[in-house]
């Protein structure tokens, strides 16, 4: 049975009437930027995350960049981040004129290692970005305890909406939390979209200025580093329809991960079942002969992907520097991770087809 890696049309079909009604309502309103849909979505997202403020922006990359600026990062400073998360945080740091510094990751979770992050900090460190990678909720409390006093934490929640730790939901644990609503995310728009969440009134005010040219009042640029970054009304309306479904979709993703982890037992594929607060954005395992496994699965009709194959410090254009503990775990993870299909509208038959292929090919 052919199994796609993702198929966003299934999600649209499952909510077609609601989505089309929301789109028509928005188009007929005559208000397409920063209107009622946008304001309502900001309120609803903030409530879902458990913070007083959510600020809609154009995409997840803008969310990272503006969040870094809002917590005080900028030219001449350093931003510490893990090196296995696709380069997004490092690219955002570069865009604002900061130096990305790569810390290592924990071998089991593949999330930022708090001790390595702390060792990578210097007197020029302006922020640490922690990515809740693959929908796995990072221990932000442990990271906070390890870091020097006063270093702001920016959470990259692009893959983790709805994930939580004992300290709270992802997006509520740092000085700012950034979200992407790219169509394949756990909460996906019908195009690009992003947001930043925060519990800080000051960070919220800075974000609202920075997303609109740095205006502190209309047509008055009072804050440097601003840009035009808006979440439009149509995407906000779509996201409002989808947001109430995220918990059920996340539960289905977790079910799929559990099945894959069981299927991988006794094979060379190491795939961890989800922890209590994880949301299963991606089903990522590790295999010593990844490319061979990918080919065998492809031969059986199962699509796979790699998230992510190139460490940030190997991306020449990013100019990232490796911290003092090195990035050995990052290097190995990028060489052996493989992603299996994991989206909530996979059928039971498709999930079983993946499991059977893993058992045969693993």
Res 89: pLDDT: 98
Domain boundaries, the chain: 8-243, 245-361
DSSP state of 166: T
pLDDT over 70 percentage in the chain: 100
What angle is formed at CA 226 by the lines to CA 225 and CA 227, rounded to 5 degrees? 125
Let me know if domain 245-361 sits in CATH 3.90.1150.10: yes
Res 234: pLDDT: 98
218 Cβ contact list (under 8 Å, min separation 6): none
Mean pLDDT along residues 295-307: 98
Structure tokens at 273: 């079942």
pLDDT tens digits, residue range 195-208? Answer: 999 999 999 999 99
pLDDT tens digits, residue range 287-300? Answer: 999 999 999 999 99
Res 1: pLDDT: 84
Backbone φ and ψ for 16, nearest 5 degrees, come out as -55, -50
Q: Which residues pair with 112 in a beta bridge?
A: 105
pLDDT over 90 percentage in the chain: 99
Q: What is the mean pLDDT of the chain?
A: 98
pTM equals 0.98
pLDDT tens digits, residue range 175-198? Answer: 999 999 999 999 999 999 999 999
256 Cβ contact list (under 8 Å, min separation 6): 280, 283, 342, 344, 346, 351
Mean pLDDT along residues 52-62: 98
Whether the per-residue pLDDT at 362 is higher than 80: the answer is no
255 Cβ contact list (under 8 Å, min separation 6): none
Confidence grade of residue 257 (pLDDT, cut at 50, 70, 90): very high
279 Cβ contact list (under 8 Å, min separation 6): 135, 137, 160, 161, 162, 163, 186, 250, 253, 254
pLDDT tens digits, residue range 262-279? Answer: 999 999 999 999 999 999
Length reported for the chain:
362
Q: N- to C-terminal Cα distance for the chain? A: 18
pLDDT tens digits, residue range 24-40? Answer: 999 999 999 999 999 99
CATH topology classification for 8-243: 3.40.640
- Tell me the CA distances in angstroms from 311 to 104, 268, 322, 334, 350, one per residue in order: 11, 23, 11, 6, 32
């Amino acid at each position: 049975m052919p199994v796609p890696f993702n198929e966003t049309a299934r999600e649209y079909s499952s909510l077609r009437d609601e989505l089309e009604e929301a789109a028509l309502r928005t188009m007929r309103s005559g208000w397409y930027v920063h209107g009622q849909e946008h304001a309502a979505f900001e309120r609803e997202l903030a409530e879902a995350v458990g913070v007083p403020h959510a600020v809609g922006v154009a995409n997840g990359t803008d969310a990272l960049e503006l969040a870094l600026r809002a917590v005080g990062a900028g030219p001449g400073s350093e931003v510490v981040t893990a090196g296995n998360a696709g380069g997004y945080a490092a690219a955002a740091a570069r865009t604002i004129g900061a130096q990305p510094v790569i810390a290592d990751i924990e071998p089991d979770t593949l999330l930022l290692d708090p001790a390595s992050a702390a060792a990578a900090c210097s007197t020029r460190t302006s922020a640490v970005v922690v990515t809740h990678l693959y929908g796995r909720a990072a221990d932000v409390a442990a990271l906070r305890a390890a870091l020097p006093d006063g270093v702001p934490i920016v959470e990259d929640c692009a893959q983790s909406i709805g994930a939580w730790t004992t300290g709270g939901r992802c997006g509520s644990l740092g000085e700012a939390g950034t979200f992407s609503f790219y169509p394949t995310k756990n909460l996906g728009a019908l195009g690009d979209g992003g947001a930043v969440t925060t519990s800080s009134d000051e960070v919220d005010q800075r974000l609202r200025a920075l997303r609109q040219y740095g205006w502190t009042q209309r047509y008055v640029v009072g804050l440097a580093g601003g840009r035009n970054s808006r979440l439009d009304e149509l995407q906000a309306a779509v996201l409002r329809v989808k947001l109430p479904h995220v918990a059920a979709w996340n539960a289905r993703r977790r079910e799929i991960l559990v099945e894959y982890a069981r299927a991988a037992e006794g094979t060379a594929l190491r795939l961890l079942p989800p922890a209590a607060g994880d949301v299963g954005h991606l089903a990522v395992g590790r295999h010593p002969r990844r490319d061979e496994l990918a080919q065998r699965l492809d031969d059986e009709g199962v699509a796979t992907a790699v998230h992510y194959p190139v460490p940030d410090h190997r991306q020449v254009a990013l100019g990232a520097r490796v911290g003092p503990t090195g990035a050995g775990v990052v290097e190995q993870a990028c060489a052996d991770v493989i992603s299996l299909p994991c989206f909530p509208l996979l059928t039971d038959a498709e999930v079983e087809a993946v499991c059977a292929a893993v058992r045969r090919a693993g």
